[in-house]
Structure 1
Amino acid sequence: MNQQKRIEILERLRANNPNPTTELEYSSTFELLIAVLLSAQATDVGVNKATRKLFPVARTPQAMLDLGVDGVKEHIKTIGLFNSKAENVIKTCRILVEQHQGEVPESREALEALPGVGRKTANVVLNTAFGWPTIAVDTHIFRVANRTKFAPGKTVRAVEDRLDKVIPAEFKVDAHHWFILHGRYTCIARKPRCGSCIIEDLCEYKEKTSDD
């Protein structure tokens, strides 16, 4: 795919959704971090359902610590892998309290040192909370980047690096939200909704569907 086509795709996505953001519900950087940590192999809808019960009783790292592992489990047991996630939430909160004065650090290295926080989670927090031009490649972005030929790559990191290289600076802060939403609602896994896609004529996917 040539760069002119990529820019046209980004311009259309921006025109369609000028101020995109995550569908996870949160009211602080700490809540965002916990929500993203819980979202691994789970839907945003499922995470939001759990955090609506969890956050009102634990809005800070110390409050989460006071709740304890079992208390966290009780609130998030509807989410997959809730046992290990509850352990990671408590370990993460302990580090935030002991090493970061209860604040979420604006540092990739510090974020990735938190239990249960990998590169993707760090990218989401840096982008959504702090406005960094990072691109968190999840299954939706990986699929869209490869299927459209916008930024093909065999691994998540390869796609991230390619996207970072080809997306102009003016689009970078919002790009990963556009691609996630596009993959979640239009360029879906089993049968993409090409008939209702705003970038269908620019997409280089060879097996487009005719209906929407």
Structure 2
Amino acid sequence: MRGKGATGVAYRLLPLAPALIMALLVSGCQGPADAPVGNARPATLRPTGYGAQFLGVGECSSFGTASFTEVPCTSERAAARVAARYDGTVTDGPLCPPTTDFVLHISEQRPQDDEDGDGAIPQGYACMRNLEPPHPGDPGAGGGPRTIPGDCVYDSGDGQVRETACDGSGPRKPRYRITKAVPDRSDCPASTVLYVQLSGQRPVGCARPV
């Protein structure tokens, strides 16, 4: 079965064998608890001149309703720090660190009056970590741009699945927890009842009932 969440990212639940063995395909980025995969925060980013690179690693941004501004990390407006920064798109570029809280997509900006190119900002993305809790990217917290060991999911019906907080604090109770990531399904423990396709060098998540 195949369906789409609110952000249009599809989930597929594939039967592998009789009984409880199922395969769960999860890809893309995740946002707050109970949000479908793919819910990275779209944003208009405004360069402010802090650091050699706009939102370089270790630099901070404020939060806004429609825009995020680069600010000094010592500022009372600072809300999140850049854990990793890459040019290009999330689809084609490197993965964000596992416990990234959210991803900022940076549109290319080339000022018309910039002759030497030093004011240009290439297309890219910043992997962000909140300066203070909550941290939706932590294992089991129910969000973040990556599905990692320690995260929990539930079957939302009609072949769709979503991540939710493992402690039951989200709108839906968890049904499965990913216990480990391995290179191949055969490496999962015997207690595994759900295989979760992850990103990275260990693309198989082994999940069991909560």
- Provide TM-score, normalisation by structure 2: 0.30
More helix by share: 1
> In proportion to residue count, which structure has more strand?
2
